[in-house]
Each structure stands twice: as structure tokens, then as C-alpha cells.
């Protein structure tokens, strides 16, 4: 099967989804109001609540949600064949992720930009707020652990990517000053910033950076040193106002993603690479997890992701200048991430060449899990090579793309975890925890480091195996619960809630099923993950019961009462 034919078919589906389905959501389900005063305008403070140009906010939102996960998940999931992964990415993006991300922004904006956990208090009941916040806390901790290992591993495997990845930071800070202090336009400064970033790639190739001497001196693994350095940077980044670093870096990364996707798909078209891997794998090695339900949690981003609802309600809704921008930012952001997942599927099938090479790389699930990111880099290097770009430059280029996206998601995740910790402090009435930004950020970083470095043996040995599956399960569970909140909010206003209800039922079924299966596996192999899995499983069942009760309550109210008025 020619890879370019697959790509074009998916892009046509995405275009139709945005043209028709997102319009239906905007007009009939979420009923956007251009005159609604958003929280960014009502509570503008120059730190978290900042009315933002929709294109800049799209860049922040897009790159915050499009981290390493839509690359890693599909790169692993093609183990079961490329067709199931492709169908889930395509249909999940259009009908699940689009409704989820778009709806999360709107519902949060309509409730003073509260995060999804807090929204459950007013939409489901006060008890569910605490339950959801605990699930969110675990999800963010898993996100931080997984992404820090992704970045550290890429730095080790591609030391030429260190300098260009680090260069993004000062470039973004200067860009932020240009946007918000000098009030200049966005296109020219961002283009210059992107050129400067790419100019650092040959510099990085000429001067590769490793931490081996430091690791040897400390008697530890280089990955440990990178993890500690990454979280040290993240601690500072997560405390800065969003316009100083996060927004401009995200905007650079959004341009970079468009360039990367353009280069990848142009390379696919020029090289006319074909997919030699099986569409549906029938010779699964003994002991392999079955694709049903694990496909839907392995591709934890790129089809739908609960982390997106945390970004949408945690930072994006606080920067939304006009409610009608939510369609472009939320739904188009989902399509962008789906495009990245598509690129990962093609890179790890057509990009690897002969079927025998694919078979060797995907010999078993453990090998597929451990090598997913590497296979993506190798496959993209093939596509870039079709354009005459040297393989070494191509490998550094795509590594920088992954690292900067993962870094953005990690920055956003720790920032969100800081919010959650402060909110938990309010619930348990610990004033110091609720009010002290530095303490909350420090706890978020230390807890994440603890999970990342906790297992015995090789650092991060389960990051792309058991830990990735637990991350994916928790992530998709969060998406299902966010869709529950969205569906209830829509239902309370007398509108048809089927758009969020259908994907939420599917996701809650898949995730609780996967959590139950993993309990047995973790009990035998890893007691820490067993405890985390068990807690999340119990909380999930509890929240499902609370959500069903809330739906019944709303249905009874609608029979006898008029639907509530819109919030301001």
C-alpha cells in the first residue's frame, strides 16, 4: 500500500470532520456565543489569565497537547498491524478527540476557567471533585515520568540534539518580549526564531553534548543525570508567567510542527514509500497483549487524550479571548495531533522499509515498546532522505521536534500538577500548600522524580512497557470522565448529548477493562504499579457510579423543570 495514498485519505477525512462535524458541535451542541465575556477578559491578571491572539493560543494549546505521546503510542501500536492503529487515530480524532478537546475549553470557559476536576463539583457533585482531582494527580505524575524519560533517552541517543533543544529557551524568551512588550506582529518574529532554531542543528551536530562524565563521577546512569537536569529546568519554567516562556515557545513549536509534518509528508510523496508491514497482524507472539482493549490505551494521544482536557481547562480556557475561537483551537488542535500520530504510523511502517526489518523491530511487544521512539526517528530520517537531506541532520531535526514537544507538555503538566496540589490543599485546608506556589511546584517535581527513578534495575526500564500502559489507561480514563462532565453540561441545557456520550461509554469500557487486566500483571511484576492501578480502578468505578446518578438526577429535573440558564 503506498503511504501517500493512506495519508491523503486521512487528510480528506480530517478536512470533512472540521468542515462539518466541528461546525455541528459549535452550533448545535456547545452553542458558542461571540458576545460571551471569557474569563481571560474578566479576570485578566497578566500571569495566568491573559487574552491571547487565537493563532498564538492555538500554538500554545497545540504543542502542549501534541507532545511525545502521539508519536510513542502509535509507534508501539503498529505491533498489532497498521490498519487498527490507523482507524482508531482517524475515527478517534474526528469523533472523540474533537468533541472532547473543543468541549473542555467551552465548559471550562463557561465556569470561570475552572479545571476539569473542579468542574465535577458543580456538574456532578462535590464528592466527585476530590475523586477526579486524585485521578488527575496520578495522571500528571505518570505524564511527567514518561516524558522525562523520553527526553532523556533522546538526548543520550542523539547528543547532537542537545544544543538546538536548549536554544529554544532563550529564543522563546526573546520572542515573548517581542510579542508582549513591543507589541509586534507574530509572523515575522516567529519565522526568524524558527530559522535561528534550525541554524543550531548543524551546531549541535558539530558539538554533541553528553553527561557521561558527570554520570561517571557520580557513579550513576546518564539517564538519571538527564532526568534531574530536565526537572530542574521544569521547576523554573513551570513557575514563570505563561507569556514569558510557555506561550512563545509553544508558538515556535507550532510552526516547527507544521514544518516537520510538511517535510515528513513531502518526503513520503517524493519517495513514494510503500507500507510493507502487515495491515492486521495474525502471528502475534505468545504472551502478547491482545489489541482489544490495549490498542485504545496504547495510543493514548493521537486519537483522544484526557491530558488534553487538563490543558484545555487548566491553561487554554484562561487565555481564550473569544469563545468562538474554541472551535479553531480545540478541534483543529485535535486534528493536528492526529496528523502527528498518522506520521508516526507511516514512519514506523513505510519508513522502516522491508517487511523483514519491521518484523525484526516488532518481534515482540517488549521490543516494540522499548524501540518505538527510535523507530519513528529512523523512519522519518528515511522520508527526509528522500528530499536529499543527510540522515544525520534528519535524525537531529526530528529528535529536536520530539524533545521540544515533550518539553512543552512536561512544562504544562507540572504547571497543571501545581494547580492540582494547591487545590487539594484548599480541600484539606492546608493553607501553606494552597497558597505557596513554590512549595506546590517543588512537590510536583519531587513526586514526579520519585516515580521516574523508583524502580530497581535500569532506570526507566518500564517506561515504554508497563508504565506506558498504565499512563495510557489513566489518560483515557480521564478523557472518559471529562466527556462525562461535558455530556452532563450539554444535557443540562436541553441539547443532544450523544456527541460526547458515545465516545465516553466506549472509553470508560476500554479503560476499566484494561485496568482490571493490568491488576493481575502488576501484582506479579511490580507492586508499586499495582497499588497505583488499584487506586485508580476503585476511583474510576466510584466516579462512574456518581456520573450515572448525576445523569439520572438531571433527567428527572428536565422532566419537571426548565433547563438552567447559561452561566456568565
pLDDT in tens, 315-338: 899 999 999 999 999 999 999 999
Residue 47 pLDDT exceeds 80: no
Instruction: Provide the pLDDT for residue 132.
Output: 82
Instruction: Provide the pLDDT for residue 566.
Output: 47
% of the chain exceeding 70 in pLDDT: 96
Q: What's the pLDDT band for 460 if we cut at 50, 70, 90?
A: very low
Element (H, E) at 153: helix 126-157
Of the listed ranges 146-150, 244-248, 382-386, the least confidently predicted one is 244-248
Which regions of 291-436 does DSSP assign to beta strands (E)?
none
Mean pLDDT of 136-160: 89
Give the integer Cα–Cα distance in Å for 422 and 431: 9
Q: What's the pLDDT band for 462 if we cut at 50, 70, 90?
A: very low
Per-residue pLDDT tens for 546-567? 888 888 888 888 777 554 544 4
Residue 395 pLDDT exceeds 90: no
Q: What's the pLDDT band for 568 if we cut at 50, 70, 90?
A: very low
With contact defined as beta carbons under 8 Å apart, do 119 and 111 qualify? yes
Instruction: Provide the pLDDT for residue 187.
Output: 77
Task: Give the distance from CA 128 to its chain's centroid.
Answer: 24
Whole-number average pLDDT of the chain: 88
Length of the chain in terms of residues written: 568
Instruction: Provide the pLDDT for residue 91.
Output: 97
Mean pLDDT of 117-144: 84
With contact defined as beta carbons under 8 Å apart, do 326 and 106 qualify? yes
Q: What's the pLDDT band for 405 if we cut at 50, 70, 90?
A: confident
* Residue 510, C-alpha cell as written in the block: 476500554
Q: What's the pLDDT band for 461 if we cut at 50, 70, 90?
A: very low
Residue 416 pLDDT exceeds 70: yes
Per-residue pLDDT tens for 64-109? 787 778 998 999 999 999 999 999 999 999 999 999 999 999 999 9
Q: What's the pLDDT band for 131 if we cut at 50, 70, 90?
A: confident
Buried b (16+ CB within 10 A) or exposed e, 154-191: bbbebbbbbbbbbbbbebbeebbebbbeeeeebeebbe
Instruction: Provide the pLDDT for residue 459.
Output: 46
Instruction: Provide the pLDDT for residue 312.
Output: 93
- The fold for domain 3-560 equals Amino acid/polyamine transporter I (1.20.1740)
Q: Which of 362, 332, 305 is nearest to 65 (CA)?
A: 305
* Domain assignments of the chain as residue spans, ordered by start: 3-560
Residue 281 pLDDT exceeds 80: yes
Q: Which of 230, 233, 231, 237 is nearest to 176 (CA)?
A: 237
Q: Is 524 helix (H, G, I), strand (E, B) or coil?
A: helix
Backbone angles phi, psi at 497, to 5 degrees: -95, 10
With contact defined as beta carbons under 8 Å apart, do 143 and 472 qualify? no
Residue 181 pLDDT exceeds 90: no
Q: Which of 339, 243, 303, 320 is nearest to 40 (CA)?
A: 320
Give the integer Cα–Cα distance in Å for 364 and 79: 8
Give the integer Cα–Cα distance in Å for 116 and 486: 9
Helices 126-157 and 222-237 sit at what angle, rounded to 10 degrees?
130
Mean pLDDT of 149-155: 89
% of the chain exceeding 90 in pLDDT: 46
Q: Is 389 helix (H, G, I), strand (E, B) or coil?
A: coil
Which regions of 99-143 does DSSP assign to beta strands (E)?
none
Residue 456 pLDDT exceeds 50: no
Amino acid at each position: 500500500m503506498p503511504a501517500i495514498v493512506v495519508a491523503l485519505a486521512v487528510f480528506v477525512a480530517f478536512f470533512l470532520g472540521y468542515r462539518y462535524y466541528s461546525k455541528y458541535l459549535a452550533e448545535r451542541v456547545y452553542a458558542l456565543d461571540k458576545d460571551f465575556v471569557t474569563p481571560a477578559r474578566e479576570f485578566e491578571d497578566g500571569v495566568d489569565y491573559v487574552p491571547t491572539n487565537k493563532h498564538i493560543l492555538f500554538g500554545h494549546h497545540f504543542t502542549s497537547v501534541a507532545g511525545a505521546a502521539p508519536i510513542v503510542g502509535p509507534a508501539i501500536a503498529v505491533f498489532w498491524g497498521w490498519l487498527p492503529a490507523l482507524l482508531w487515530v482517524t475515527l478517534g480524532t474526528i469523533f472523540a478527540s474533537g468533541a472532547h478537546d473543543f468541549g473542555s475549553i467551552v465548559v471550562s470557559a463557561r465556569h470561570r476557567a475552572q479545571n476539569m476536576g473542579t468542574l465535577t463539583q458543580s456538574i456532578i457533585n462535590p464528592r466527585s471533585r476530590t475523586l477526579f482531582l486524585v485521578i488527575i494527580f496520578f495522571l500528571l505524575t505518570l505524564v511527567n515520568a514518561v516524558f522525562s524519560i523520553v527526553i532523556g533517552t533522546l538526548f543520550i541517543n542523539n547528543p547532537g540534539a542537545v544544543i538546538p533543544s536548549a536554544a529554544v529557551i532563550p529564543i522563546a524568551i526573546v520572542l515573548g518580549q517581542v510579542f508582549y512588550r513591543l507589541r509586534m506582529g507574530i509572523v515575522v518574529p516567529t519565522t526568524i526564531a524558527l530559522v535561528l532554531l534550525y541554524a543550531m542543528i548543524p551546531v549541535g551536530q558539530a558539538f554533541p553534548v553528553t553527561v557521561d562524565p558527570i554520570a561517571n563521577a557520580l557513579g550513576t546512569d546518564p539517564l538519571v543525570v538527564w532526568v534531574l537536569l530536565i526537572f530542574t529546568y521544569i521547576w523554573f519554567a513551570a513557575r514563570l508567567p505563561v507569556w514569558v516562556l510557555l506561550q512563545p515557545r509553544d508558538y515556535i513549536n507550532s510552526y516547527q510542527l507544521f514544518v516537520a509534518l510538511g517535510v515528513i509528508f513531502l518526503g513520503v510523496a517524493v519517495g513514494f514509500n510503500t507500507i510493507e508491514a502487515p495491515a492486521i497482524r495474525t502471528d502475534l507472539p505468545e504472551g502478547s497483549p491482545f489489541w482489544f482493549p490495549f490498542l485504545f490505551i496504547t495510543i493514548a494521544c493521537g486519537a483522544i487524550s484526557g491530558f488534553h482536557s487538563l490543558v484545555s481547562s487548566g491553561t487554554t480556557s484562561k487565555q481564550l479571548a473569544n469563545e468562538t475561537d474554541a472551535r479553531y483551537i480545540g478541534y483543529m488542535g485535535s486534528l493536528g495531533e492526529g496528523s502527528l500520530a498518522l506520521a508516526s504510523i507511516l514512519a514506523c511502517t513505510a519508513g522502516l522499509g522491508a517487511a523483514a526489518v519491521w518484523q525484526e523491530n516488532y518481534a515482540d511487544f517488549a521490543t516494540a515498546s522499548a524501540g518505538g521512539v527510535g523507530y519513528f526517528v529512523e523512519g522519518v530520517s528515511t522520508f527526509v532522505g528522500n528530499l536529499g537531506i543527510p540522515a544525520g541532520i534528519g535524525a537531529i531535526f526530528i529528535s529536536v521536534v520530539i524533545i521540544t514537544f515533550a518539553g512543552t507538555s512536561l512544562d504544562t503538566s507540572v504547571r497543571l500538577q501545581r494547580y492540582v496540589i494547591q487545590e487539594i490543599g484548599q480541600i484539606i485546608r492546608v493553607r501553606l500548600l494552597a497558597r505557596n506556589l513554590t512549595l506546590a511546584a517543588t512537590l510536583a517535581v519531587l513526586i514526579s522524580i520519585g516515580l521516574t527513578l523508583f524502580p530497581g534495575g535500569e532506570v526507566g526500564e518500564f517506561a515504554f512497557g508497563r508504565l506506558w500502559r498504565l499512563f495510557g489507561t489513566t489518560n483515557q480514563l480521564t478523557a472518559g470522565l471529562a466527556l462525562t462532565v461535558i455530556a452532563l453540561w450539554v444535557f443540562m441545557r436541553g441539547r443532544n448529548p450523544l456527541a460526547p456520550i458515545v465516545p465516553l461509554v466506549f472509553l470508560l469500557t476500554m479503560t476499566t477493562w484494561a485496568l482490571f487486566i493490568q491488576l493481575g500483571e502488576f501484582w506479579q511484576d511490580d507492586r508499586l504499579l499495582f497499588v497505583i492501578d488499584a487506586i485508580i480502578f476503585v476511583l474510576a468505578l466510584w466516579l462512574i457510579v456518581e456520573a450515572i446518578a448525576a445523569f439520572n438526577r438531571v433527567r428527572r429535573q428536565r422532566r419537571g423543570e426548565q433547563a438552567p440558564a447559561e452561566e456568565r
